[in-house]
Structure 1
Amino acid sequence: MTSKKDMLDVLRHSRHDWLNVIQLIKGYLALERYDRIEEVLEIAIQQALNESKLSNLSIPNVSCYLLTFNWLQPPYTLEFEVMGEVTDLQSIEQELESLVRAAADLFKAHCSLERENHLLLTFQLFPDFLRLTFDFQGKLCRLEELETALKHVLQKREDSFELREEECVFSVCFEKK
């Protein structure tokens, strides 16, 4: 963060997100939907744990980008999960950031606004490498153009690739240096 204004903006967004969770819980309490309260709490706890793990991977540029992505109201929601033991990924941050931003921009440009769209990024941490999986669900447009652009971004590094109108799933492995 470069200024107090930036810090206040981050705090404002974070407070807004937590107030939404609290309002959901309050509404379910009024409706006596205790099962839904437990579900909302479990989702909030899991999200906070994933945010904590992401923040501890020593990739501040990637972390800030992902943690604030939904605040800019993109045409799809982004969610992430971090699986495995937290490790230092600083040595691959630049390469990781380049891929994450490029893929996110391609999905922004090729998703339809007619449907709800969602991107799940899964960080699978292994002792010697990271597998990052992109799982887009929703509606995609101009599939041939998207496939060409994704292949260019991935440069044949993906270990699996699937593209259909309703989804795009691929994984990329990064060796820790």
Structure 2
Amino acid sequence: MKRVGSAKLYVSVSLLLPAACLFIWRTAWWPIVVFVVWSAITIVLWMYSERKEQRDRQARLGHALQTSAIRTLNHHRHDWMNDLQVLYGYIRMNKQDKAVQYVEGIRERMIAESRIAKLGVPSLVTYLQSFRTMTHSLQLHVVIDGELDLEELPIDKNGVAETLIDLMNMYRFGMKQRTGEPAKLTLQLARDDKSLHAVFFYDGEWNDIDDALHKIKQRLRNSPLQPISSEQSLAELPLKAELRG
């Protein structure tokens, strides 16, 4: 990345040489030819550098997505193995009531994950599904009221998704690390005829509450999601996005 940036800088600066020739030999014809040829070569090299930089960015992004997907699958596999071991233990001990209760918990968890997968915006879905692989200090619980597909709503869906992701990152990086039980963050999503509602509930400590509130206020300034109340709280942050039309 740095090498590509340096090459683009050198290519740009190199134009000063034929430009200087034009200034020094104003009446000669050859500086014009040199300048035109040099400019053409510079444009070609610049375009090559741009394309290489774009390919490198795409390669890094693809690698990051693959790594995130592998981590998420490993976490799901670990959870499934734990579930199977618990169920196997209940079955061996002939505790049918416990087994049925545990299966019901698995079913509810699958319903919640299915609703996340149907949110419609890939960046938000991927972030929510892979959150457990990012940190062990903060537990995220997502509650979605019914079937919610942001793609079907007349709102800036990408703006909403980016805002939600940024806010969750602010909670993740702004929280105070503690031993024992992890902090808990709940995101509730719902909609009515006029608005999309998002509410954050946080149970934990902060490194700097004033700084966190300032950053959240700045992030929401031009966001489709706006605070419902003028008094913002990190423990409970209700937001809404008005539906267009």
Report the TM-score range of the alignment, normalised by the length of the smaller protein: 0.7 to 0.9
Q: Which structure shows the higher helix fraction?
A: 2
Other structure's SS at 1:140 match: coil
Q: What's 1:117 paired with?
A: 183
Q: What's 1:69 paired with?
A: 131
Q: What's 2:166 paired with?
A: 102
Q: Distance in 2 between matches of 1:159 and 1:48?
A: 31
> Percent identical across equivalent pairs?
18
- The equivalences for 1:1-177 within 5 A come to 2=62, 8-28=70-90, 37-89=99-151, 91-114=155-178, 115-155=181-221, 157-160=226-229, 163=233, 168-177=235-244
Other structure's SS at 2:197 match: strand
C-alpha deviation, 1:13, in angstroms: 2.8
User: Is there any run of 5+ residues in structure 1 with no aligned partner, and where?
Assistant: none
Q: Distance in 2 between matches of 1:125 and 1:47?
A: 21
Q: Is the 8 A contact 1:81 1:122 kept in 2?
A: yes
Q: Distance in 2 between matches of 1:124 and 1:39?
A: 28
Q: Which structure shows the higher strand fraction?
A: 1
Q: Distance in 2 between matches of 1:132 and 1:123?
A: 5
Q: Distance in 2 between matches of 1:32 and 1:150?
A: 52
**Alignment: residue pair count:** 174
Return the TM-score normalized by structure 2.
Answer: 0.59
C-alpha deviation, 1:29, in angstroms: 5.1
Q: Deviations over 1:42-94 (max 9, x none)?
A: 33222211221221221111011001111122420111011034334365332
Distance 1:84 1:23, change over 3 A: same
Q: Is the 8 A contact 1:162 1:168 kept in 2?
A: no
Return the TM-score normalized by structure 1.
Answer: 0.79
Distance 1:132 1:75, change over 3 A: same
Query: Which residue identity lines up with residue 212 of structure 2 in the other structure?
Result: L
Distance 1:33 1:104, change over 3 A: farther
RMSD: 3.0
Query: Which residue identity lines up with residue 173 of structure 2 in the other structure?
Result: A
C-alpha deviation, 1:135, in angstroms: 0.8
Query: Which residue identity lines up with residue 148 of structure 1 in the other structure?
Result: H
Structure with more relative contact order (C-alpha pairs < 8 Å, separation 6 or more): 1
Other structure's SS at 1:113 match: coil
Distance 1:143 1:66, change over 3 A: same
Q: Distance in 1 between matches of 2:113 and 2:190?
A: 14
